[in-house]
Structure 1
Amino acid sequence: MNKIYFLCTGNSCRSQMAEGYARIFLKDKYEIQSAGLEAHGVNPLAIEVMAEDNIDISHQYSKTIDPHYFKTANLIVTLCGDAKDRCPVIAPPTHSIYWPLPDPAQATGTPEQQLQIFRQVRNEIKQRILALASNP
């Protein structure tokens, strides 16, 4: 089976949300994992906004890049510029996609304003995962 790897800086928000959606919408196409350049722990607001869409990522955990999985992945999706710039070299025939998404963990303002940023990023990730699912 093909492998997909979602990467971001801390594997706490964007890549965790992408993994959560992929486990629903891409499970028949890919083995699915996510990781970060660092492991910051899964952000509670990411868990909360995913639960709003009936996706449970509370069992997922933050991890750093596994060199073996990275080398054997068919598709690597980087979800931030930091991961794109600092990611190990992606060798052919691995395909890579860059999704330049803002880091919701950097959101400021009231708790509701922060949640709104998380929801916006979540919705963008969901649309991109659905687009991947619709490709043959």
Structure 2
Amino acid sequence: MAEGWLRHLADDRFDVSSAGTQPVGLNPGAVEAMQELRIDISGHRSKHLQEFLNQRFDHVITVCDRAKESCPLFPGASSTLHWSFDDPASAQGPPEARRAVFRRVRDEIAERIRRFIRDGA
């Protein structure tokens, strides 16, 4: 969802990539939550960090605590940030309760990215 928001809110100001330490594919709940706001992330691909180890980045942002702990160093990054969000994929309960968690986290990510852009990323 973070990749989708950054692409949506920043237009072409950033070359955006996202990856994980254990990529498992797009979560349908994330796709649905973003689609509610007409942001299509269905074409995004879950990538492994290894794909990016030889690339240079201005900003490296982790969005879950597990990723913060296991994320490799990216030499040359002008900033390394950690934004802790709940993992909506671990939400329990009936479908509507799980959807509510995806929506909440989606909105929290959007607000954090808006601040990142506003503060001069």
Identity of matched residues, %: 37
Match runs of 1:12-51 below 5 Å: 17-51=1-35
Note if contact 2:33-2:103 (Cα within 8 Å) is conserved in structure 1. yes
Note if contact 2:30-2:102 (Cα within 8 Å) is conserved in structure 1. yes
Question: CA offsets, 1:36-95, max 9 Å, x none?
Answer: 0011000001000000011000010111012123xx011011001111000112435531
Letter in 2 for 1:56: D
Partner of 2:47: 63
Letter in 2 for 1:67: L
Partner of 2:92: 108
1:134 and 2:118 are equivalent in the alignment: yes
Letter in 2 for 1:39: P
Question: CA offsets, 1:87-108, max 9 Å, x none?
Answer: 1124355311111111000000
Structure 2, unaligned stretches of length 5 or more? none
Letter in 1 for 2:54: H
State the distance in 2 between where 1:74 and 1:51 align.
29
Partner of 1:82: 66
What TM-score, normalized by structure 1, do the two folds share? 0.82
Note if contact 2:60-2:80 (Cα within 8 Å) is conserved in structure 1. yes
Match runs of 1:91-106 below 5 Å: 91-106=75-90
What TM-score, normalized by structure 2, do the two folds share? 0.91
State the distance in 1 between where 2:21 and 2:98 align.
24
State the distance in 2 between where 1:132 and 1:100 align.
14
Partner of 2:101: 117
Question: CA offsets, 1:14-50, max 9 Å, x none?
Answer: xxx0110111112332110100001100000100000
